[in-house]
Every structure is written in structure tokens, then in C-alpha cells.
Structure 1
């Protein structure tokens, strides 16, 4: 008979608050968070103060609601990086960045939408407003469009409806996956196996993004190549586009899926 290791009960009790916040998926008031964790607000508050001090949660000064903090996000990113798809893709995007000599990022679908988990810089200095942990807009960026084109429509619509588009596009009748302009854009992404952004949303910066699929046909991650318009060729059959398609296809095969090929 094995003896159970001794733990700290107060940490386990406080952990219920973190679980409740994670289950809910959005900022919560003290009373609601305490109720979900099965404890009185007076008991929950000291835990929240301590969690705030170490960065596991943070409180919005305006609304008073509690949400996931910087330390929790950092731990989540570490967990995402350890996923097999990200582990396999990491050396591949480093090689791709060296081949095309442009920045290459790796993104996954996180709690708040398309989230950058890796970023490889080119040999030359370039200013791109993106870093690990950044959440990018769904319909305004090449990365977001690659997710929007290949993920289930109800997932994308729900994300837009809840305001997950970080550039403030949000959900409205003209910006749904089924609206004519957006539907046409996403259909082209599906046909070509690539999403493209030309100087938008970042003036002077172009980008291509390609989805990587797992064995079940789900989008496991998105690889994005980006660079200054003066040296980044946005032709659909450019060397950059070809190298990106090839990289995404190889990774998809490695994860048990077929190659993503352009058909248009």
C-alpha cells in the first residue's frame, strides 16, 4: 500500500478558484467566481489577493472582474510549446526563416483566438509588432484568415460574436464567415492553401500564412511568413509562398495528414 504524498490543503482549496475561472473562460466578479468554486466570497477574496500578487490572476480596476494573469498565460504558453505539433514545427520554422530570410511565426488556436507561440527572426533587422503571446485578429491578418478559412464556421462565428478579434472588428452582419466579401476571401484561402495580407493591418508589411493539419484533419497550427513590402514577394507562386506551402505540407504529413496544395 502506497502512502499519498503530503500536500498543502489551502493551495488545493484556492485552486478551485483558478479552475472556475478557467472553466468560465471570461472575466468574473468575485461573487460569481466564489459561487462557481463552492465557497463564500469572504473566503475566496484572500486567495484572489495572493494569486494577484504572484500574477496568476489580475483584477480589472474599472469593472472589478478577475481574469487570468500574466504568470498563468506564461505557464499556458509553455504548455502549448510542449505539444507535439509545436515541438515538431519549431525546428522547421527556424529552417524556413533561414531559407526565405524573413520572419516566421507559429500560432495555435488559444483561449483568446490565434495566439503566437514561436517567432523566428531573419538575419537582417526588421520591425514587426508581434511577439510570443500576441493574439492576432481573425479577419484582418494572414494568420487569422488561415484559421478562419479552415476551422469550423460556428467556432469562428462564436469568436467574432464574443469580440475575440483583437483589432475590434467583432461580429456584425458584414463581417461574418458567410458575408459575401468575407466568404469570397476565405474561399480563396482554401483554394490556394495560403492566406495573404498585403500591407494590412501593418502598413509596409506583407505576409503569407499556411495551416498545418493533424491526423484528424483539424488545424493544429498556422505558420506565417512576414516581411517588409520592398523585399517580400506577394505573388501566389513566389519563392516565399512555395517554401511556406512546402513546409506546412511536410508538417501536415508528419502529423498524419495529407499535403496542403494550391488548387487555384
Structure 2
């Protein structure tokens, strides 16, 4: 027997009433109907997505404009499906494993990421370091693929990790090339997180406006960024951008390895390999893509 359906008449009647058909919508000349209960559950998911942070049940109910008792029933079902999960300590809800799988499935259909995944794996094996693929997320550059190095690194990086904008080579590359409006939104979200987490490392704080702007200009001119012993001591990184045919930033390739062994020189093997891979990804995913960044076409964040 399907556990989601009860044989008790009263329960079934209430369930059917709650799953009433949603108002009809016209699409392609046909009237389409949906299940209202599914759409109500979607309101809870939307509230969680827009919050960009775990939410308490009461906050989810308020944001979704639902009574607490009704919201609780939906949260139970959404948890069973794996679309959300509840932290055992805080009691707050956050996206679940099924939501992550759906998100990654959507990303896998994007041309740039589809081209980048096998190249990232090849780079990790050839260079002997970890390689992260990052895209723009609401809170900042987010790892969507992480190829581990042959030797373990003392860093806590994984799919879903959000990179600091001022404190990592990946973040600074996004600052240099992402559209200003998108960058300001990310910066605001990260600043809010820093304000509520006093224990965050001081490296998350940006430099003065003029100095940071000069840093971004340098990144645009040379076409890549490095992080040496920062934000983790003993660990360094090199990050390069991948552009589309309009020279907009689509994702980044970041090599991460032990500082003693990762060659971060502009003429070194790591930088050359990353830039070659970025050019190949852009050319395969976006025809007519130029191979080198053009500073005048890269707006970036100018604080």
C-alpha cells in the first residue's frame, strides 16, 4: 500500500479537498489545470530558496503565508521526498539531497559545464592538484564540481561550497568579470553573513576601495588570479575565467594544491594548462568565443 495515501475516508476526503485543482491557466490555446497542494508546497520551497539560508518552521510558514499547522504537514512530506532537510540541532530547514541532485542535473545541461567537467578531471590528473568548477550563485561563486588531488589537502571544499569574494582567487576573478549588478547582490549577501558570523576569518574583509579596484584591474590585464597561502595557510590556488561568445563570465576553473608544489607563475605549467582548458571550453560551448579576456568588455565590481 502506498504510504502517502490513507484508506480512512475522512483523511482521504480532507486530502482531496486540500489537493483541489488550481485555477486554470491558458497555454498554447489549451486550458491547463494543476494540483493546488503541489503549488502550495512549491511556495515553501520558493521561500527557502529566496531566503538563501536555513529557515525555522515558523519563518517558513510566515513567508509562505500558511498556518503553522498546515505548513508543518507540507514540511514533513517535502522532507520525506528529500527536497528539504531539517538540521537536528537548530531545527531549521534547508535544501535536501533531492533538491541538490535536481540542481546539479540542471547545471549539467549547460554547455559550458558539460564541456568543463571532463577537462577538469583531466587537469586534476595531469597537474596533480584539485580542480574546482564554480558558477555564480546567489551568495557568491559556488563549487558545482570538485576533482580531488591525488594527495589530500587540508581544506574543506566540496560541491556547494561558496567562495569568499575578496578572500579567494576564485572570488576575485568573479569580482573582476561578473556584471556589476550581480556582483553587488553577491557582495551584499556575503557581507550580511559576515555580520552575523563574527568568527569568520579576517581574510574575508575586502581591502580599501582603491586598492581592491587596482587588484581587479591587474587580474583583468593578466587574465587569471592566484591565491598564495590564503585563505588557508600552506594551500595556494590559480583561477582562470571561462567566457561565452559575448565575453560574459560563465564559470571559472580553479587549481588548488599545496603551496610547496603548486606552480603559480604566469609562465608556469598550471597557468598555461588552465588557460588552454578555459579557451577550449569556451570555443566548444560558445562558437566564436575569443580566447583572451578583454579588459574593456569586463565590467566587474568597481567599489
| Same-fold call, TM cutoff 0.5 | yes
Measured in 2, the distance between the counterparts of 1:218 and 1:128 equals 33
8 Å contact from structure 1 (residues 249, 261) kept in 2: no
Question: CA offset at residue 7 of structure 1?
Answer: 7.9
Q: For 1:1-264, list aligned pairs within 5 A.
A: 10-28=37-55, 30=57, 33-34=60-61, 36-37=63-64, 39-58=66-85, 66-122=93-149, 124-129=150-155, 130-163=157-190, 168=200, 175=206, 179-254=209-284, 255-256=286-287, 257-260=289-292
Give the unaligned 5+ runs of structure 2.
1-29, 296-303
> Counterpart of 1:163 in 2: which secondary structure?
helix
Question: CA offset at residue 99 of structure 1?
Answer: 2.9
8 Å contact from structure 2 (residues 240, 275) kept in 1: yes
Measured in 1, the distance between the counterparts of 2:238 and 2:222 equals 11
Structure (1 or 2) with the larger CA radius of gyration: 2
Deviates more, 1:40-49 or 1:9-18: 9-18
Question: CA offset at residue 169 of structure 1?
Answer: 6.7
Measured in 2, the distance between the counterparts of 1:262 and 1:11 equals 47
> Counterpart of 1:106 in 2: which secondary structure?
strand
> Counterpart of 1:162 in 2: which secondary structure?
helix
Question: CA offset at residue 194 of structure 1?
Answer: 0.3
Question: CA offset at residue 56 of structure 1?
Answer: 2.4
Measured in 2, the distance between the counterparts of 1:258 and 1:87 equals 19
Measured in 2, the distance between the counterparts of 1:50 and 1:218 equals 40
Deviates more, 1:42-51 or 1:68-77: 68-77
Normalising by structure 1, what TM-score?
0.81
Q: 1:262–1:18: structure 2 CA closer, same or farther, 3 Å change rule? A: closer
Cα shift readout 1:90-111 (whole Å, capped 9, x = no counterpart): 1122222233232211111123
Measured in 2, the distance between the counterparts of 1:22 and 1:103 equals 29
Question: CA offset at residue 61 of structure 1?
Answer: 7.6
8 Å contact from structure 1 (residues 93, 104) kept in 2: yes
Deviates more, 1:245-254 or 1:72-81: 72-81
Cα shift readout 1:195-237 (whole Å, capped 9, x = no counterpart): 1000111111111000101123221110001211222112111
Cα shift readout 1:165-206 (whole Å, capped 9, x = no counterpart): 779479x9x727x71221122111111110100011111111
Give the unaligned 5+ runs of structure 1.
none
Measured in 2, the distance between the counterparts of 1:41 and 1:175 equals 41
Question: CA offset at residue 64 of structure 1?
Answer: 6.6
Question: CA offset at residue 4 of structure 1?
Answer: 10
> Counterpart of 1:137 in 2: which secondary structure?
coil
Measured in 1, the distance between the counterparts of 2:58 and 2:128 equals 52
8 Å contact from structure 1 (residues 126, 227) kept in 2: no
CA RMSD of aligned residues (A): 3.3
8 Å contact from structure 1 (residues 16, 37) kept in 2: yes
